[in-house]
Structure 1
Amino acid sequence: MGAALPKPVQPAAPTYNPEFDKPWRDFKWDQKSELKKHLEEFSLSNPDVKHIRILVAGPIGAGKSSFINSVNNVFQGLITSEAPANSSSSHGESFTTTAIPQVIVMTKVDEACPLVNKDLKKIYYSKKIKEKMQICHDKLGVLMCNIFPVKNYHEEIDTNDKVDVLILKALDQIVRLADDRLFNSSGTLLN
């Protein structure tokens, strides 16, 4: 009998790295005070317009009420629950062909990605979050620059600066887009 042949060496399975080496979106985590002040002092460009209306739409359980409450939490500096959950109606309408500015506030990022659940500051390093944003873009046509991943307050008993700054940035961009909508392409005010 001859000597046993050595078993072939199996190459190691490549390990999946859930994060990019560098953030795929620049984000200043220390801008909470600046964003909050800007929003508190914000006034619309058109003095004839007193208020802007923001439609918050999505399926039941998507985080609409939690986002509204989270915005309130940021400005109150404590956890509140003003917006009633699951108070949605079945009326829906597509705004994809209108000139209404569209954004996506992508909630529940902590549930979607373990990396982000562990460290919220990894949100713009996360391959999973970018992939989910790309899916939103592909399905709904909303520009990637108008998709804002956020973590809502839902279990916390105190506010958190990392959660706050993501919420404030989303709200700031929503308000800016709405204000920009007051002007048409020639730079004149819309009525």
Structure 2
Amino acid sequence: MASALRNYWFPSVPSAVLEKPWRETVWTNRDQMVEKLRTFPLNDPEFGMIRILLHGPVGAGKSSVINSVKSAFAGRVVMSVLVASLSDISFTSKYETHYIKEGEGRSPFVFNDIMGLEAQESRGVHIDDIISALKGHIPEGYEFNPNVFLTNSKPEYVKDPKLSDKVHCLVSVVSADKISMMSKEITAKMRTVRDKASILGIPQIVVMTMVDIACPEVARDLKNIYRSKEIKSKMETCSNVLGVPMTCILPVKNYHEETQMNNDIDVLVLEAMTKIVEVANDYIWHLQQKKKTLS
């Protein structure tokens, strides 16, 4: 009987990770990446800084992305942007600029966080407010109202925004473990915002969070992220749902439970930031050339 069992063929279970990564990452250049971003030369120094707008569904981790970038720059876990413990409630209620401190100064880019999107029309940020933010019409500290969006008849509406007030890169933040369950209402809202950004010429990047929740192999070892079949599948789903190319989808793990710094978390976050800053800087160059043509 034992001999018969030994000779019985059992099909092998397919591996959850590929032998070779489908996207290359250098896991040892964290410090060089930080220095590159700290000293990043803007194509038009008059802009002062690159403005990055984060948007996406409630609970996708927009505020945590900002905290993770701040942590990578500070060399310690930073939680200066408050994050809700309940993922179905948007903690962000005001339009606020977040600066990244570096030494005695600050980095050449800033974030603007915004209230999360929800399926119901009476909840979450109104897409017209997101579009106004893209154009620089939303003032600092503006309190979002899901039922009433800011119009040019309101006194707080910024009628003549400077180029530095406008958004130079739209970053859609989505959760890897929930991308396939995202409602058609939220998907439609995100596509509407993306379409408007495209008309304005604003570059767009997708940051995919919570990769460790979506894939056990990545939770075990973050370096498996570009060998993971599950993460690649999630990114392909995201590409189809939002209509963005795979090259513009950047998976990251935010600092969440960690109290100590983690090199692999930093590298993925800094890779994403490098891509965001580069495409935003290209957009600034385009605006600069357009201004020269008109002058």
Relative to the length of structure 2, the TM-score reads: 0.58
1:183 alignment partner, one of 254, 279, 285: 285
Q: Which residue of 1 aligns with 2:18?
A: 20
Query: Could you report, residue by residue, the CA deviation over 1:101-144 in whole angstroms, capped at 9, with x for unpaired residues?
Result: 11111000010100000000000100001111111111112221
1:90 alignment partner, one of 102, 106, 125: 125
Q: Report the 3-state secondary structure (helix = DSSP H, G, I; strand = E; otherwise coil) of the residue aligned with 2:219.
A: helix
Q: Which residue of 2 aligns with 1:118?
A: 220
Asked if 1:157 corresponds to 2:259, the answer is yes
Tell me which stretches of 4 or more aligned residues in structure 1 moved more than 2 Å. Answer: 9-14, 95-98, 187-191
Q: Report the 3-state secondary structure (helix = DSSP H, G, I; strand = E; otherwise coil) of the residue aligned with 2:207.
A: strand
Asked whether the 8 Å contact 2:71–2:78 carries over to 1, the reply is yes
Q: Which residue of 1 aligns with 2:98?
A: none
Unaligned runs of 5+ in 2: 1-6, 84-90, 93-114, 116-123, 131-192
Q: Which residue of 2 aligns with 1:47?
A: 45
Distance in 2 (CA, whole Å) between partners of 1:43 and 1:190 is 20
Asked whether the 8 Å contact 2:44–2:288 carries over to 1, the reply is no
Q: Which residue of 1 aligns with 2:208?
A: 106
Deviation at 1:50, TM superposition (A): 1.3
Asked whether the 8 Å contact 1:20–1:127 carries over to 2, the reply is yes
**Structure with bigger RCO (C-alpha 8 Å, 6+ apart):** 1
Distance in 1 (CA, whole Å) between partners of 2:288 and 2:284 is 8
Q: Which residue of 1 aligns with 2:121?
A: none
Asked whether the 8 Å contact 2:77–2:259 carries over to 1, the reply is yes
Distance in 2 (CA, whole Å) between partners of 1:190 and 1:14 is 59
CA RMSD of aligned residues (A): 2.0
Distance in 1 (CA, whole Å) between partners of 2:14 and 2:46 is 54
What amino acid does structure 2 have at the position aligned with 1:116? Answer: V
Asked whether the 8 Å contact 2:207–2:252 carries over to 1, the reply is yes
1:131 alignment partner, one of 233, 239, 242: 233
Asked whether the 8 Å contact 1:148–1:170 carries over to 2, the reply is yes
Aligned length, in residue pairs = 182
What amino acid does structure 1 have at the position aligned with 2:45? Answer: P
Distance 1:40 1:153, change over 3 A: same
Any residues of structure 2 matched to 1:143-154 within 5 Å, and which?
143-154=245-256
Distance in 2 (CA, whole Å) between partners of 1:80 and 1:106 is 20
Relative to the length of structure 1, the TM-score reads: 0.88
Q: Report the 3-state secondary structure (helix = DSSP H, G, I; strand = E; otherwise coil) of the residue aligned with 2:19.
A: coil
Distance in 2 (CA, whole Å) between partners of 1:90 and 1:16 is 43
Deviation at 1:189, TM superposition (A): 2.4
Name the % identity.
41
What amino acid does structure 2 have at the position aligned with 1:90? Answer: V
Q: Report the 3-state secondary structure (helix = DSSP H, G, I; strand = E; otherwise coil) of the residue aligned with 2:20.
A: coil
Distance 1:179 1:190, change over 3 A: farther
What amino acid does structure 2 have at the position aligned with 1:108? Answer: M
Deviation at 1:12, TM superposition (A): 3.5
Q: Which residue of 2 aligns with 1:6?
A: none
What amino acid does structure 1 have at the position aligned with 2:43? Answer: S
Query: Could you report, residue by residue, the CA deviation over 1:22-61 in whole angstroms, capped at 9, with x for unpaired residues?
Result: 1000111112111100001112111221122111011111
2:79 alignment partner, one of 42, 60, 81: 81
Q: Report the 3-state secondary structure (helix = DSSP H, G, I; strand = E; otherwise coil) of the residue aligned with 2:52.
A: coil
Deviation at 1:15, TM superposition (A): 1.5
Any residues of structure 2 matched to 1:30-41 within 5 Å, and which?
30-41=28-39
What amino acid does structure 2 have at the position aligned with 1:144? Answer: M
